[in-house]
Amino acid sequence: MDFTPLIELTRGGTLECLHVGAVAVVNTRGKVLAQAGNPHWLTFTRSTLKALQALPFMQAHGPQHFGFSTEQVALLCASHSGEAQHVSTVQGMLDKTGLGYKALRCGCHVPGLFAAQNLTPPPDLVFDERHNNCSGKHAGFLAYCVQHGLSLEDYLDPGHPLQQAIRRDVARAVGLDTHALKLGIDGCSAPNYALPLSRLAYGYARLASAAQDGEFGESFATLCDAMTAHPALVSGTARSDLALMQAGRGDWVSKVGADGVQVLASKSRGEALAIKILDGNATALLATCVEVLEQLGWLDEAQRELLAPWRAKTIANLRGLAVGERRPVFKLLVGEHGLQRVV
């Protein structure tokens, strides 16, 4: 079975919605430790790929070349909310590379802080490419091009030397041949790749276990430490990755992607989980993530309390009346073939 029911919603005790998907839990050797559904489902990585897309820049010692701070390294991996702290950090990256924000080719959208905090954008709101949730990634792309004397106007072309270097290093990080990466174009116009869910988890297990990685160790360590030190820059106020990394107390590196993709790795365990929700539902994605952490035994009582708003729970209407439930309907199975339950 490729997908299995993960989260159901009931109303008045009757099933109303069912979200199906797949889960893979993988270690640094690439072994599938636990799964639900098909752990090898071909999945577009979306923004979960950002830390791996930064590898060519890191391997070329780009942050040292430009004097990027730890905060600015964190922005390379961010899907930020366009808050003032995010915009100023991106501007600082551009300043150090000698470029203006118009060099960014990510496009514009209303800053995510409004949706995340349930706010209405003011009618006179002015925003630009720096407010795009992917602007930190794009600032890193441009920095690589400046460092190596590459053209800027076409830096998102899949054939550009930057994008070819990214494809090479992403493939190495997830243990695949470059030809196995299925190309698509992301919402920010950058090339994105579909790969087996288990391979995405493997890449993040390596990211979180940098000290043991003989290939990308220094780069992984710098990226992972920046992300866990500055989760608010990677994410934003009232956002899920901020909550997950705060709950992880520096041990968990977490990254969400559009349309129902989530990856989270533990430094101390050398393991990572990756999730795909077939219909892309973000609420079901986070409820699944917290339930996976619970079934793996990664949560203590304080962490359960911190993550309670994101997990399965009673559904209330606008008057606060309990009208239904959101609850998990899966059990993780051990190993690639899923012969027995984890719990």
Give residue 339's pLDDT: 53
Alpha-carbon distance of 110 to 306, in angstroms, equals 28
Q: State percent of the chain over pLDDT 70.
A: 97
Residues 209, 30 contacting (CB under 8 angstroms): no
The string of pLDDT tens digits covering residues 23-43 is 999 999 999 999 999 999 999
CATH architecture of 4-334: 3-Layer(aba) Sandwich (3.40)
The string of pLDDT tens digits covering residues 162-207 is 999 999 999 999 999 999 999 999 999 999 999 999 999 999 999 9
The string of pLDDT tens digits covering residues 319-335 is 999 999 999 999 999 97
CA 28 to chain centre: 18
Residue extents of the structural domains in the chain: 4-334
Q: Which two tokens stand for residue 282?
A: 């973000």
Give residue 40's pLDDT: 98
